[in-house]
Amino acid sequence: MRIFAAWVLALVLAWSTQGTKQGSPEENLPPNIQRLSHFGERASWSPDGKRIAFMEKSFGDAFEVDVASKAIRLLTHYPHAGFLRVQFLPGGDYFLIGARTFTDIRTTRERDEEMWILRRDAKPGDRAVPLDHKISEGVAISRTSMRIAWSNTHGQYPDQISQGESIIYTADIVDENGAQKLANKKEVLRAKAPECTLEAQDFRKNDTELIYTCYRSPFADVLGVDLNTGQTTVYRRIAGEYNEVEGIYPNGKYTLVESSREQLEQNSNYIDIWRLRLEPDSPDFVRLTRWGEYRGFKASNPVVSPDGTMMAFQSARSRDPAGVGYGIFIMKLP
Query: pLDDT tens, 178-193?
Result: 889 999 999 999 999 9
Query: pLDDT tens, 97-139?
Result: 999 999 999 999 999 999 999 999 999 999 999 999 999 999 9
pLDDT for the residue numbered 20: 85
Q: What predicted TM-score, i.e. pTM, was given to this entire model?
A: 0.93
pLDDT for the residue numbered 17: 67
Domains of the chain listed by start with CATH number: 2-332 (2.130.10.10)
pLDDT beneath 70, residues of the chain: 1-17
pLDDT for the residue numbered 178: 84
SS in 3 state form for the chain?
CHHHHHHHHHHHHHHHCCCCECCCHHHCCCCCEEECCCCEEEEEECCCCCEEEEECCCCECEEEEECCCCCEEECCCCCCCCEEEEEECCCCCEEEEECCCCCCHHHHHHHHCEEEEECCCCCCCCCCEEEEEECEEEEEECCCCCEEEEEEECCCCCCCCCCCEEEEEEEEEEEECCEEEEEEEEEEEEEECCCCEEEEEEEECCCCEEEEEEEECCEEEEEEEECCCCCEEEEECCCCCEEEEEEECCCCCEEEEEECCCCCCCCCCCCEEEEEECCCCCCCEEECCCHHHECCEEEEEEEECCCCCEEEEEEEECCCCCCCCECEEEEECC
Interacting residues of 69 by C-beta distance below 8 A, sequence separation 6+: none
